[in-house]
Amino acid sequence: MTPERAVLLLRISYRKPEDEDEDQMSDADKRRAEFSKGIGRQEEDARALAQRLGWKIARVIPEDDTSAFKRRKIKLPDGSTALRTVRPGFRAALAGLASGEFDGLIADDLDRVARDPRDLEDLIDVVESRRPRIPVESVTGSLRLANDADVTMARVMVAVANKSSRDTARRVARKHEELAAEGKPGGGGFRGYGFTEQYEVIEDEARILREIGDRILGVWDGWTLQQRKRIDPEMGESLNSIATDLERRKVPSATGVPWSGRSVGSVISKAAVAGLRAHKGEVVGPATWKAIIPPEHWERIRERLAMRAGDTDLSLQRWLNGVLRCSLCGHMLSGSHGNGGPRYWCSKPNGGCGKIAVKAAFAEDEVQGQVLHLLSQPRILEQLRNAADTEVTDEARAELAADEAQLKELAGAYARREVTFLEYKEARGIIEKRVKESRALLHSRAPMVLRRLLAGDVVDGWRRLAPADKREVVLSLLPGYEVRPHDRSDGNKFNPDRLVPMQPDN
């Protein structure tokens, strides 16, 4: 059967931005644009094959900037979630073959059609649903599903291609971690404003970056006297105002697109401008290139931007405020907007050392897990529920008073040499342990929010708590957490051991 309505499926992983002008592009961008023309060559070769075979093409489905390997978490029709490749073009081709809209499939190569075994199995199911089988051909000859031998070979080749993609992804990820640890550029993507692709400073753009920083801090010397009167030195100039002025002066951006408040904030927030290397949203150390803005000055700029973050009240959203303490200087960490998003930082402007920071999501997830684990233990729950009672029994108070009195008697007995030092030490340790436990339960360590939480399902109740209430629950269980420095030997992954629970007597 010679197809009369075949579908031509094309795929490539990089797409050139539609609004990018050819003569404004860097050499690397031009190379990527040339690479993107490969999808046109795929179509040319596939049409030549169709002509040789006598096939007629009914529709061309291009998958531009689409990966056949990377999977995302999606919701399935039954409501469950699963990891799947997201390929609307591929799914449209399968739907057309299944419905009879198309009667054949042609592509450049097997790996242009599938690099995920599940995608191949879906194609096989559709091909084998008809008798005779739906014809499938490729320019390279690597994809044919005409018989069981072809199907077996296709499965083997896709499994090999999938492993190759996994190996490549692993090597690339490891290489990026290595480059980040060494402070070297990661490569790829668009050049950052202020630098060439080799991270050499572009002085004209560096001057604009310093100007932006000074205007944000309210210390720029380029304002007229009248303009300066309108600037609040505590807040600095707005990003939109800076963007408008840059546009008025015809200052070009790195990509040639107009400046906006968002782009102004973006270029000044990049760790690279301070000579710092970031990886996966977190600063991991000094970079190998020259800083345009000194790191201390850059931190002040980011703090100023964080203060302006709309009407967001970080003290309410970041519920570990007042819980995390810097292990280096003892200062409390506070919630702020860092270069990689929300974080807790030992803020220098607020009196901290500025050397300890941790990503908010990681810290909050870890503390939440520890709290829920603690509250899942029956013995702990029983103790807390007893402590949460509004009326503490006279018997409990009397028990604590008796232990405290016994400690005094024991001290007197040792002073009168009625007991040896070893006897005194052993007895005191036993009594002090009881006293410590009693005080932890009886001394105002069960606020009203904890009583409400313990009244029902603990896990469900925790999830419904407001951020401020979560903080109260944590502080009712322990004094807080000490945050240790990031160990570079661990790479760039979050280490839960950085959060060390503080003891009640600390």
The topology (CATH level 3) of 190-308 is Hect, E3 ligase catalytic domain fold (3.90.1750)
Task: Count Cβ atoms below 10 Å from residue 194 Cβ, excluding itself.
Answer: 24
Please tell me the least confidently modeled range out of 248-257, 266-275, 279-288, 472-481. 279-288
| pLDDT at position 243 over 90 | yes
Please give the average per-residue pLDDT across 465-486, as a whole number. Answer: 82
E runs forming strands in 360-429 = none
Maximum Cα–Cα distance across the chain: 112
What is the per-residue pLDDT for 92? Answer: 92
3-state SS class at 161: helix
CA 42 to CA 140: how far, in whole Å? 11
The amino acid sitting at 323 is V
In 3-state terms the chain splits into helix, strand, coil percentages (rounded to 5) of 50, 15, 35
Cβ atoms 454, 436 nearer than 8 A: no
pLDDT in tens, 64-119: 778 888 888 777 666 677 788 888 899 999 999 999 999 999 999 998 999 999 99
| pLDDT at position 27 over 50 | no
pLDDT in tens, 6-22: 999 998 875 443 333 33
DSSP 114: -
CA 276 to CA 283: how far, in whole Å? 7
pLDDT in tens, 375-399: 777 776 666 655 555 444 445 556 7
CA 296 to CA 276: how far, in whole Å? 11
CA 293 to CA 233: how far, in whole Å? 20
Whether pTM exceeds 0.85: no
CA 386 to CA 371: how far, in whole Å? 18
* Rounded alpha-carbon distances, angstroms, from residue 247 to 205, 242, 251, 261, 372: 14, 9, 6, 11, 52
CA 338 to CA 282: how far, in whole Å? 8
| pLDDT at position 415 over 80 | no
Buried b (16+ CB within 10 A) or exposed e, 481-490: bbbbebeeee
Instruction: At 101, list the tokens.
Output: 């809209």
* Rounded alpha-carbon distances, angstroms, from residue 46 to 89, 133, 279: 17, 21, 41
Instruction: At 371, list the tokens.
Output: 């709290």
Report the run of H or E that residue 172 belongs to, with start and end: helix 148-181
Percent of the chain with pLDDT over 70: 78
CA 65 to CA 43: how far, in whole Å? 16
pLDDT in tens, 416-442: 888 887 887 888 888 877 776 665 544
Return the domain boundaries, the chain: 6-179, 190-308, 365-501
Which of the pair, 16 or 361, is modelled with greater confidence?
361
What is the per-residue pLDDT for 400? Answer: 67
3-class DSSP string for 174-219: HHHHHHHHCCCCCCCCCCCCCECCCCCECHHHHHHHHHHHHHHHCC
CA 449 to CA 473: how far, in whole Å? 7
| pLDDT at position 498 over 60 | yes
pLDDT in tens, 188-211: 556 889 999 888 999 999 999 999
Instruction: At 483, list the tokens.
Output: 């945050």
Task: Please give the CATH superfamily to which domain 6-179 belongs.
Answer: Resolvase, N-terminal catalytic domain (3.40.50.1390)
What is the per-residue pLDDT for 444? Answer: 41
Please give the average per-residue pLDDT across 54-60, as a whole number. Answer: 94
| pLDDT at position 309 over 90 | no
Instruction: At 413, list the tokens.
Output: 């007995």
Which of the pair, 463 or 497, is modelled with greater confidence?
497
* Rounded alpha-carbon distances, angstroms, from residue 172 to 85, 165, 190: 20, 10, 18
Cβ atoms 481, 323 nearer than 8 A: yes
pLDDT in tens, 143-180: 999 999 999 999 999 999 888 888 877 777 677 667 66
Note if the bond before 132 is cis, omega within 30 degrees: yes
| pLDDT at position 135 over 70 | yes
DSSP 404: H
| Cα 167–chain centre separation | 23
| pLDDT at position 368 over 70 | yes
Q: Report helix angle 261-269 to 203-217, nearest 10.
A: 100
